[in-house]
Amino acid sequence: MTSTESVTRDWEGLTIPAAGTYLLDAAHKRVGFVARHMMVSKVRGEFAEATATITVADDPLQSSVSATIQAASINTAQADRDGHLRGADFLDVEQFPTVEYRSTGVKSRDGNEFVLLGELTIKGVTRQVELEVEFEGVGRTPFGTDVFGFTAATEIDREDFGLTWNVALETGGVLVGKKIKIEIEGEAIRQA
């Protein structure tokens, strides 16, 4: 976009980005997760390498997202655990190098809150998921780049995707919780 074109538009009382194709900014993103450990604490991690294309439609509720995460880029700040997560017990990155997401619809919730319906594929298994999305704002950088920000979250049962490895604990419960919270934050950059 040139500086004379509008970067924003109004939609149902919300200032949103102009229609177009946007790419996830690698320098301003976090694709993270939270899992229960030993039923007593949480382990946080993230995937360092992820790309996404967001197509903002003229009708915002017709917008779409496709994302690819490099499974081997998982990082929980503990090398042994990361190696185990990359192996066949969990992500099996040799056979399934990517985690994929494709949206199938968008629903407006309230104000700047939306629900992004889509299909998440982990380890070759695809399941429907709903991402709770908060639109954070839109603007133009001092360098003339049009961007918008967002956060998104959902919770999945890892066993639904074939990630069933676990160890029973002597005190009851299991080593790794079944529920995984996914947390995404980012900025998307308009493409020329």
Q: Angle 131-132-138 (CA atoms, 0-180°, nearest 5)?
A: 105
Q: How confident is the model at residue 138 (pLDDT cuts 50, 70, 90)?
A: very high
Q: How confident is the model at residue 64 (pLDDT cuts 50, 70, 90)?
A: very high
Tokens of 16: 């949103």
Query: In the predicted model, what is the mean pLDDT of residues 59-69?
Result: 97
Residue 2 has pLDDT above 70, yes or no: no
What is the residue extent of each domain of the chain?
A: 8-190
Q: Write out the CATH class of domain 8-190.
A: mainly beta
Q: Look-up: residue for tokens 């066949």?
A: 88
Q: Angle 107-48-71 (CA atoms, 0-180°, nearest 5)?
A: 80
Q: Look-up: residue for tokens 């081997």?
A: 72
- With 0.85 as the threshold, say if the pTM is over it: yes
Give the pLDDT confidence score for residue 73 in this predicted structure. Answer: 98
Give the pLDDT confidence score for residue 5 in this predicted structure. Answer: 65
C-alpha 69/C-alpha 110 separation (Å) is 29
Mean pLDDT of the chain: 92
Q: How confident is the model at residue 1 (pLDDT cuts 50, 70, 90)?
A: very low
User: Is 47 in contact with 71 (CB distance < 8 Å)?
Assistant: yes
Q: What is the pLDDT of residues 145-183, one digit of tens each?
A: 999 999 999 999 999 999 888 877 777 777 788 999 999
